[in-house]
A and B are shown apart, each in its own frame.
Chain A
Amino acid sequence: MEATLKQKRKTSRFNFRGSLCMPYAVFMTLFVIAPLLLILYYAFTDANGVFTLDNWQTVFSSPENWKVIGMTFVISISTTIICILIAFPIAKILSNKKLNKNAVLVYIFLLPMWINFVIRTIGLKSLVDGATESMFGYKLTVNYPYIAIIIGMVYDYLPFAILPLYNQMLKLDKSQIEAASDLGANPFQVYVKTIIPMTIPGIVSAATMTFMPTMSSYVIANKMSNNTTLIIGNLIQNYFGTRVTDISNHIGSVLSLVMLIIIGFSIVFEKLIDKKGDEKKGGIW
């Protein structure tokens, strides 16, 4: 009797909660890990599947690629900085409980995200072009495509910057701010010495949240510049989508890896700063 019970217990040791991870595991393997391995394989092989580093050499020996990668970097960094500069005061205002009861105002800032970003971008393009044409007599997207791209990216990714900052601002230690002003700090000093240090984790995650998508997106750049500019996303699309040479997928894979590495660095960077932020949390420089 006891033996059978024991056996039963043994066989029924099926971990139900653990098994709920299975769909996720299957998804990750099929759609994240397998493609990554494929990209790795392509990046280091030639058309016949033999190991080679030629693809990397091809990519980095072309000055155009450097220019494109550099330009993407400049666009992404400027977008990130501008997004944070705009989002910071907005988040501060939104975090004021009196003003933003029930967080309705936050939703107003998130509302545009309910519309597909391509449609929003096309709309923004007409708006920007119409405005500059009536004011200065030229279309911004035609005469200054890079400025137009940054405007488009800031517009599309601003909510990604507002949300983490807003969440961080909700958690601000009010007593510390009060103490600072009680002890004679002027409003500017209060900001610099207490509020900004306390929101660093929010700033960092806002930065990565905007930097990552701007590095990889190219539709906004295409629309806002009438297809006249290339950023790394276009390059990759070109190698996978429109080229039909034997080696094009391999070169495209190298470019994808380059992009992944840049994004990977930004995440490492975030973690590093985040750690420091944790140590300094509540501290005064």
Chain B
Amino acid sequence: MKKGKLTLFAIPLLALINASLLSACGPKTDYTLTIYNWEDYIYEATDEMGNIIQGEKSTVQAFKDYFEEKTGKTITIDYENFSTNEEMYQQIKLGAISPDLICPSDYMIQKMANEGMLEKFSYNEKDDKYSESLENWENYQSPFIHDRFKAEKLEDGNSFLSYAVPYFWGTMGFTYDSNWFTKEDVNSWEALWKTSADEPAGKKKFEKQFSLKDSMRDTYVAAIFHVYKDEIEALDETALDYNAKLGQIFNRCDKETIAKVEAALKGAKYAVQGFEVDEGKDDIVRGTYHANLAWSGDSVYSMDNAEQAEPAVYLNYIVPEEGSNVWFDGWCMPKGSQKELAEEFVNFISNPENAAKCMESVGYTSPVVGDEIWDLVNDWYAADEEETETYEVDLSFYFGDSIEEDALINIPLENEGRQFDAQYPTEEVLNRCCIMKDFGKAQADVEDMWLRVKAAY
């Protein structure tokens, strides 16, 4: 009898599941490509308010049309979102999702590649050449990005380039209110360790005016530059291997360093108001605090919003003089992905025309270069011809020979230290920015340290 009851319910239930599975597939296509990306990280043919623009094609739709035209086959794109690297990693590790393309950050690319979770792209390490399936990326990659990725070696001796095609990149620094702080105030990480003794009598400028990231990786960086201040100052900035040497200090995670970082973070209470991950970019506009440890893309978002606020607030962005982090998110193929389809998509999105659209809607800097990107940058930032007070920036190290003219751009002087500088730091700034490495075996120790810091706050 019991069995009878169960089947009685099992049949409609199964039928339901079946129906929903069938309907989820929709009209059958020849291929399905699963992409697992950050939220709001691609051109979706929507305007700033999130409304769909009529007659515009999102990147995904444009790729479908392009693919069908090129191959005569139909394709479905299954587009899924994640919100942290760790979440994405767990989901793939647990087998909850098996995407063809993912877009993790540098340290996670390293971790996954070292754990053998990633498929290689059609890239030849020896000749430093991509195969034809990635010709757009081969032709339109920024030389700066290429060199940085080439220099990052993984455990198997290959470089980052074998496993990842960069999608967006940026730096980390302070977004600050230029009416409250001067550039000199926030030009050093030491600002976070100011105490009441540093303040002039009767004036409290630094007290509780900073916010840090509630993500251990980023706040760790700030502490490293404080802890090894002297050692970093002693390095020769003009040396060719300056960045590599700085990177070694930057990525230290031995027991002694962790203990020092812990003490430093516990001691940063005077200037720090709190931790945040997402709210900060809005809170700085509202004036909840006047300096926010921020990623360059978020900083551009804050600066744009603050300008339009009533009354307008003028925010600036600065990468502290000691150095900072330069981060990358890159397309990777997890083991078992449909390599050809995935490369087709990566190649499509690395076309400057498509990259410019994504860059325009996402707001981060694309590692793709070319006329379309250069035009976009000029359109956004270049000074009008009548303007006399300008400064010239040489971006040839970044744009290489991808554009016909010289990569020189004139920026209005009043915009110094603002959106343009956040999106396109100079070669000199980038020379003191390092790529994060996976903590490896020390991961658990650092996480424990972070909990102790938070518990002590």
| Interface range for B | 20 to 34
Q: Is the CB of A227 within 8 A of B447?
A: no
A242 at the interface (CB under 8 A from B): yes
Cα separation A229 to B457 with both chains bound (whole Å):
6
Shortest distance from the beta carbon of A228 to any chain B beta carbon, whole Å: 4
A243 at the interface (CB under 8 A from B): yes
Closest to B213 in A: A227
Closest to B286 in A: A126
- For A1-43 the 0/1 string (1 means CB < 8 A from B) is 0000000000001100001001000100000000000000000
A230 at the interface (CB under 8 A from B): yes
Q: Is the CB of A238 within 8 A of B451?
A: yes
- For A207-240 the 0/1 string (1 means CB < 8 A from B) is 0000000000000000001111110001100100
Given A19-B5, A244-B86, answer yes or no on A225-B274 (Cβ-Cβ < 8 Å).
yes
> Which of chain A's residues have a CB closer than 8 A to the CB of B443?
243-245
> Which of chain A's residues have a CB closer than 8 A to the CB of B87?
241
Contact of B444 among A26, A68, A238, A245 (CB under 8 A): A245
Q: Is the CB of A227 within 8 A of B86?
A: no
Shortest distance from the beta carbon of B284 to any chain A beta carbon, whole Å: 13
> Which of chain A's residues have a CB closer than 8 A to the CB of B196?
none
Q: Is the CB of A22 within 8 A of B275?
A: no
Contact of A241 among B84, B454, B455 (CB under 8 A): B84
Shortest distance from the beta carbon of A280 to any chain B beta carbon, whole Å: 42
Q: Is the CB of B214 within 8 A of A227?
A: yes
> Which of chain B's residues have a CB closer than 8 A to the CB of A13?
1
Contact of B274 among A142, A234, A242 (CB under 8 A): A142
Q: Is the CB of B86 within 8 A of A226?
A: no
Given A22-B9, A241-B87, A244-B89, answer yes or no on A227-B275 (Cβ-Cβ < 8 Å).
yes
Closest to A227 in B: B275
Cα separation A209 to B386 with both chains bound (whole Å):
69
Cα separation A242 to B82 with both chains bound (whole Å):
13
> Which of chain B's residues have a CB closer than 8 A to the CB of A26?
9
Q: Is the CB of B211 within 8 A of A226?
A: yes
Q: Which residues of A contact B (CB under 8 A)?
A: 13-14, 19, 22, 26, 62, 64, 67-68, 138-139, 141-143, 225-230, 234-235, 238, 241-245, 247-248
Interchain residue pairs A-B with the least CB separation, the first 3: A226-B274, A227-B275, A228-B457
- 19 additional contacts (CB under 8 A) given A64-B452, A245-B443: A14-B5, A14-B8, A19-B5, A19-B8, A22-B5, A67-B455, A139-B208, A142-B208, A142-B273, A227-B276, A228-B457, A230-B451, A230-B454, A230-B457, A234-B454, A241-B84, A242-B86, A242-B215, A245-B447
